[in-house]
């Protein structure tokens, strides 16, 4: 029986073949105001996404029927539902592959419930944003995409065309890890995917212009060996 008001709660689908993890996530998520659906097979998970239209998917990579990465690949052929990977695999190639295929985030097991819930909130907020949302604010930084105006503490910040293109990409995916390859492809083109020195130079410039303390950045965080993330909150 559905409790009063539960229909309005965001639904999160957990695809994981460990019963203990499914139980833990169900308790954690429902205590935080979400409804949950769970399954242990990748094929069943794909079917549930199509039938139930969850607000977000928590996906384990080590499933017994389909590899989680294959589930993600198939899902991205027809759905933009936010996906957060949960996996015991902590290697950089696994993270890069999942993020490049369209995962919104990657959390390594064992995880802290508080961190996972924060990542879920960011992914859900990002999904709710309308395309082309014109203004992004964080701290004293204001980025007006419609007017191409960037201000910090009320003062205009001049950016080159490439710096602005890089910043715009981060704003459009705020809170999400962007891989080196993805950023280079989107800003410099497909022939620049291996030119990571471009990215290091221009990210350093953005930090110098936008961070309160460029030597200890808080806006643009580094995911070692994977990419970068613009803080969304």
Band of the pLDDT at 133, cuts 50, 70, 90?
low
Nearest CA-CA partner of 21 in 59, 75, 76:
59
Which residue shows structure tokens 């029986």? 1
How many CB atoms sit inside 10 A of residue 24's CB? 16
Which residue shows structure tokens 């890089």? 166
Alpha-carbon distance values, 218 to 40, 137, 198, 229 (Å):
38, 14, 21, 10
Buried b (16+ CB within 10 A) or exposed e, 153-165: eeeebebeeebbe
Full set of structural domains in the chain with CATH: 9-128 (3.40.50.2300), 135-230 (1.10.10.10)
Band of the pLDDT at 205, cuts 50, 70, 90?
very high
Alpha helix (H) residue ranges in 53-195: 68-75, 92-100, 113-128, 161-172, 180-188
Tokens for 70? 């294959």
Residue 152 has pLDDT above 60, yes or no: yes
Beta strands 135-138 and 141-144, pairing class: antiparallel
CA–CA separation, 42 vs 208, rounded Å? 44
Provide the residue count of the chain.
Answer: 233
Residue 164 has pLDDT above 80, yes or no: yes
Residue with more model confidence, 90 or 213: 213
Band of the pLDDT at 229, cuts 50, 70, 90?
very high
Band of the pLDDT at 7, cuts 50, 70, 90?
low
pLDDT given for residue 147 in this prediction: 76
Alpha helix (H) residue ranges in 129-219: 161-172, 180-188, 196-210
Q: What is the pTM of this model?
A: 0.71
pLDDT given for residue 18 in this prediction: 93
Q: What is the pLDDT of residues 62-79, one digit of tens each?
A: 898 888 999 999 988 888
CA–CA separation, 204 vs 202, rounded Å? 5
């Amino acid at each position: 029986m559905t409790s009063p008001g539960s229909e309005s709660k965001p639904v999160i689908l957990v695809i994981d073949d460990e019963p203990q993890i499914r139980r833990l996530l169900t308790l954690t998520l429902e205590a935080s105001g979400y409804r949950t659906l769970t399954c242990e097979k990748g094929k069943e998970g794909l079917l549930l996404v199509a039938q139930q239209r969850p607000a977000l998917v928590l996906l384990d990579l080590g499933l017994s029927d389909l590899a989680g990465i294959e589930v993600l690949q198939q899902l991205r052929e027809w759905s933009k539902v936010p996906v957060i990977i949960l996996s015991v695999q902590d290697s950089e190639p696994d993270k890069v592959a999942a993020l490049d295929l369209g995962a919104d985030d990657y959390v390594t097991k064992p995880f802290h419930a508080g961190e996972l819930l924060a990542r879920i909130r960011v992914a859900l907020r990002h999904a709710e944003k309308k395309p082309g949302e014109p203004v992004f604010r964080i701290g004293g930084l204001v980025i007006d995409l419609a007017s191409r105006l960037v201000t910090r503490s009320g003062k205009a910040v001049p950016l080159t065309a490439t710096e602005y293109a890089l910043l715009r990409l981060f704003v459009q995916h705020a809170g999400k890890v962007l891989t080196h390859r993805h950023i280079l492809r989107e800003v410099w083109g497909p022939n620049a995917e291996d030119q990571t020195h471009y990215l290091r130079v221009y990210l350093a410039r953005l930090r110098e212009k936008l961070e309160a303390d460029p030597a200890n950045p808080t806006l643009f965080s580094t995911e070692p060996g994977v990419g970068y993330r613009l803080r969304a909150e």
